[in-house]
Amino acid sequence: MTETDTGAGTAAAAVRLRSVRRLYRDVVALDGVDLTVRAGSFVAIMGPSGSGKSTLLQCAAGLDRPTSGSVEVGGTELTGLSERRRTLLRRDLIGFVFQSFNLIPSLSAAQNVALPGRLAGRRPSRAQVRAALRRVGLAERAGHRPGELSGGQQQRVALARALVSRPAVLFGDEPTGALDTTTSRHVLCLLRELVDGEGQTTVLVTHDPVAASYADRVVFLVDGRVESELLRPRAEEVAGRMATLERHTGAVGAGAGAVGR
């Protein structure tokens, strides 16, 4: 598929990976990934376990450094930047949510949202914190601690924390992985609304075909390479493709670019 087919060639790129390789000793986690994420789009990354999804996300988000190749976020080339410059850029450009919510239990929702900014010496204003909580539908819960919130509400606080700095790109590594089906759907609807309503570029790693079906585009990784893509994915199609990939990698054996193991 060409870039024009995905619309990536015409509109601004929020994320651009070129020939990205990431080795861990003799393990090839990423083996030459080219990927462009159009600004304002929602992309899901899928693939068998060990196919390099988390490594891809960490490299795209500037949390990890590729062994070779280049990564551009919001028009800025991350490759070759010092650790310090990369940290500063990450703070401005990137929001990240994980499977575990990583909230501080003793702090209120509002304090959790404000914490990364405070630690970085850029405390968000009360109005900004309130706006972030409003965006995730938790305006009424600003004073509540994580223990007083459901799992879905806690993940929405984590989402507000990731969004308060108005990042160019929101990354999520299995953010609905710890949630029950109904709660997971609520969080996915919210992500979709943020994309549609506010143009929030979003890149989501998931193993759930239904979660992937909320995206505009699904990119399938196998052994650290982009194997294929689906546009406007339907859950059944995604599930079918995943089943094929898992059969394939199962048949091959170790898969996952594991060299010499």
Binding site for ligand ADP (CB under 6 A): 24, 27, 29, 47, 49-55, 256, 258
Minimum CB distance to Mg ion smaller for 114 or for 221: 221
Residue whose CB is less far from ligand ADP, 56 or 129:
56
- Shortest distance, position 100 Cβ to Mg ion, whole Å: 13
CB of 182 to ligand ADP, least distance (A): 25
Nearer of residues 13 and 57 to Mg ion, judged by Cβ: 57
3-state secondary structure 26-75: CEEEEEEEEEEEECCCEEEEECCCCCCHHHHHHHHCCCCCCCEEEEEECC
Question: The tokens of 235 are what?
Answer: 């859950």
Q: Considering the complex, what minimum distance in angstroms separates the CB of residue 174 from Mg ion?
A: 7
Residue whose CB is less far from Mg ion, 54 or 183: 54
Q: How far is the CB of 224 from ligand ADP (least distance, A)?
A: 7
- CB under 5 to 8 A by kind: which of Mg ion, ligand ADP, none does 23 bind? none
Residue 50 partner contact from Mg ion, ligand ADP, none using kind-dependent CB cut-offs of 5 to 8 Å: ligand ADP
Find the residue with minimal CB distance to Mg ion.
54
Shortest Å distance, C-beta 127 to Mg ion: 36
One residue of 7, 27, 32, 54 binding Mg ion per CB under 5 A: 54
What long-range pairs does 69-72 form, CB within 8 A, spacing at least 24? Answer: 69/17, 69/18, 69/19, 69/20, 69/21, 69/32, 69/33, 70/16, 70/17, 70/18, 70/19, 70/20, 71/15, 71/16, 71/17, 71/18, 71/20, 72/13, 72/15, 72/16, 72/17, 72/18
- Among residues 52 and 124, whose Cβ is nearest to Mg ion? 52
Asked whether 201 and 168 are in contact (CB, 8 A), the reply is: yes
55 binds, among Mg ion, ligand ADP, none (CB under 5 to 8 A by kind): ligand ADP
Q: Give the chain's length.
A: 261
Tell me the one-letter amino acid at 106. Answer: S
> Which CB atom, from 64 or from 193, has the smaller least distance to ligand ADP?
64
Identity (one letter) of the amino acid at 225?
A: R
The item of ligand ADP, Mg ion, none sharing an interface with residue 175, based on CB under 5 to 8 Å by kind, is none
CA-to-CA separations, 252 to 30, 63, 204, 256, 258, in angstroms, rounded: 18, 31, 27, 10, 11
| By CB under 5 A, residue 100 contacts Mg ion | no
**CB closer to ligand ADP, 60 vs 78:** 60
Say which entry of ligand ADP, Mg ion, none residue 256 contacts (CB below 5 to 8 A, set by partner kind): ligand ADP
Q: Could you say which of Mg ion, ligand ADP, none residue 241 binds, taking C-beta under 5 to 8 angstroms by partner kind?
A: none
Q: Is 54 exposed, middle or buried (0-12, 13-18, 19+ CB in 10 A)?
A: middle
HSE toward the beta carbon, residue 87, CA cutoff 13 A: 7
Contacts with Mg ion by CB under 5 A lie at 53-54
